[in-house]
Amino acid sequence: MDDSRTLTPTLVPSTETGLSVPVSPGTEQIQEQDIRILVSLATYNERDNLASLIHEIHAVVPRADILVIDDNSPDGTGRLADELAAADARIHVLHRAGKLGLGTATLAAMRYAMDKEYDYLVNMDADFSHHPRYLPAVLAGMKRKDVMIGSRYIRGGGTENWPLARKVVSLSVNGMVRLLMRIPAHDCSGAYRCYRVSQLRQTDLNHLLSRGYSFQQEVLYRCRKSGSRIGETPIIFENRRAGASKVNLKEVVRSISILFWIGVHAFCGWE
């Protein structure tokens, strides 16, 4: 696929959604319908959230395709996803054998987006922590950026009902990552992101060490190394509407250790 149209800065405003459409010099205007957007939702026991979340995504970005990556959810999320996909051609489902982790699910979505030649890949949590109302701002930021982050830690962003300990850990890890990996973003751990797929093709995704919570920071570091322009737009991170949190203390400790190891090597130039 020729991705030249996504690498040049000339843009034409859309008359339908307000998003801008990239145009290559010397070529005809690319219409909005030619911008292919994929929204990935990694699910494990999200049956109570899935249908309403997809409905709200399509209310904001009706042209977006949805990829549900389900890790054999015991509550039947995968079966519901299949039912939704049977009724709507914009919905696609990837079934995995078991709980393989958020990082590998996001990587699977990236490879799917590249294989199917999408232009933008949006990653969202499937529990309404990442509300679809922020999608227009995230997508609009792609006019000048290759990665847009829905950020909790810039002016206008924030979190709802987080305990102090969680805020301290999150801010500390983000500070460490920004310092050691030299990433020009305030929210390096946030998973609400849009990636330019043509730039993902230039990013080393084959040697990632992370599979859990550290994946978001490591992949952002890899994007920076590939020359991606990184931007942020404020969001309020909301508590899930239904279901149980999947935060695992053991995985948090392991992820922080991985980030420290990668960060020290990056800072010292030992890569």
- pLDDT tens-digit map of 114-129: 999 999 999 999 999 9
pLDDT over 60 at 25, yes or no: no
**What are the pLDDT digits (tens) for 43-88?**
999 999 999 999 999 999 999 999 999 999 999 999 999 999 999 9
218 within 8 A of 108, measured Cβ to Cβ: no
What distance in Å separates the CA atoms of residue 269 and residue 271, rounded to the nearest whole number? 6
Task: Give the model's pLDDT for residue 9.
Answer: 38
Q: Which long-range contacts (CB under 8 A, 24 or more apart) does 250-258 make?
A: 251/212, 251/213, 252/169, 252/213, 254/212, 254/214, 255/210, 255/212, 255/213, 255/214, 256/173, 256/214, 258/209, 258/210, 258/214, 258/218
- Please give the Cα distance from 140 to 145 (Å, whole number): 9
Lowest mean pLDDT among 28-37, 87-96, 140-149: 28-37
Give the model's pLDDT for residue 15.
35
In tens, the pLDDT along 132-178 reads 999 999 999 999 999 999 999 999 999 998 889 889 989 999 999 99
Instruction: Give pTM, 2 decimals.
Output: 0.84
**What is the percent of the chain with per-residue pLDDT over 70, rounded to a whole number?**
84
pLDDT for the residue numbered 212: 75
